[in-house]
Every structure is written in structure tokens, then in C-alpha cells.
A and B are shown apart, each in its own frame.
Chain A
Amino acid sequence: DSGVTQTPKHLITATGQRVTLRCSPRSGDLSVYWYQQSLDQGLQFLIQYYNGEERAKGNILERFSAQQFPDLHSELNLSSLELGDSALYFCASSQRNMGTSGTYTVNTGELFFGEGSRLTVL
């Protein structure tokens, strides 16, 4: 058990609909990451929040949005769903462990993943 909770585990919906995925991070973790995993695209970074603020954005579509609430849980909202949005959506939390290695800034923080939310769009 990673300590990260994602709900729902499975979701089946129709094209054009909107869904919300929820993530509760490990106790004490301030960073939350969202990833999309599909067979042909691997694990794609969507967005990261740190203590309620957006910190980094990856390949997130404009139809998708996310937020992190004061209690640190996060929600990923997917709207105007298309068939191609069918995938496993993972949330991960971490404590940033920043340091240096030579001239590089490194983050050795471990990502703790939830079990994922499997979205099927029909």
C-alpha cells in the first residue's frame, strides 16, 4: 500500500461526458502529480501541484483541468470526453528532496503512485 488513494478505480462513460478523478496523497506529501498511461503512449506527465499551486504542466489537453485543495487532495477533471481519452490515470505524491550533483539540481524524491483510475469512454 503506497498510501495514495485514487477514486474511482473504474469508470465507464460516453463520449462528450465529463468525469472527475480524485486523489488523496500520502500524509505529509505536498506534491501531487497526474499521469496518463495508455498502451501506445506510455506514462505521460499531465500536471503537478505543490501545496495547492500549479508547479509544472505537461501534455495536458485544454479539455482537462486539475486542482489541489487546501487539504492537499487533488482532482482531475476531464470534459468533452473522446474515445482516445480511455486510459489509466495515475496520481502520485512525493516529498521533494532537492539537492545538487555537480552543477545540477536534482530531485531524489520518490513518487508514490496510487492504483490508478481506469477510464473507458464508449
Chain B
Amino acid sequence: DTEVTQTPKHLVMGMTNKKSLKCEQHMGHRAMYWYKQKAKKPPELMFVYSYEKLSINESVPSRFSPECPNSSLLNLHLHALQPEDSALYLCASSQDPHTYNEQFFGPGTRLTVL
């Protein structure tokens, strides 16, 4: 199984809502990532988890809260988002945080904030 799955595929939320994005992989990978991609732009790194611990936060606003409950699962909790946060949110994983392994990406969750 070389797949990273993300749910939901699409999400529409209001600025006062709380929602979560979910990412799962069963490849035994120990590094997981969140990226944000605005329309017609390249992906931008948000967070990196290494062995279930947050290792990189690219100065992301606190309305985005990542969580890694176990080595297979990565969540992104959303609260009080702004319309400019509308984007494609991509999850990725790689085998070993300490080597140049390829990253496997999920298909993304397309988020619209009204």
C-alpha cells in the first residue's frame, strides 16, 4: 500500500466553524507533512512531524493546529479561518526523517472558507 489518503475531499466552512482535516498512511513512514496550495501557485510547507513530534512550523497562524495521534495519522484542526485560507491542503509522508526519501502526497482536501 503506497497510498496517502485524505478526508474529506472537499470542505466548505464558515469563519466561526471548527473542522478537522485527516490524513492517513500505512507505509510505516515516520515523517509526515502538511502543505497549503493556493490556486495556480506551488505548494507551501506548513508543518513537519518527525516520529510523531512537531519538528517544523513554518510560522503558520494558530488558527491552524496540527496533531499527530500516532505514526499513521495526521490531523489539521481548523478554527476561525479567514476566506484567504481557502486552498488545497496537501498531506505527505516519507519513510525516514533523516534521509532523502521521496515524499508521497495525498490528493488533498479542497477547503473553501465563506
The yes or no verdict on A and B being binding partners is no
A-side interface residues toward B, CB under 8 Å?
none
B-side interface residues toward A, CB under 8 Å?
none
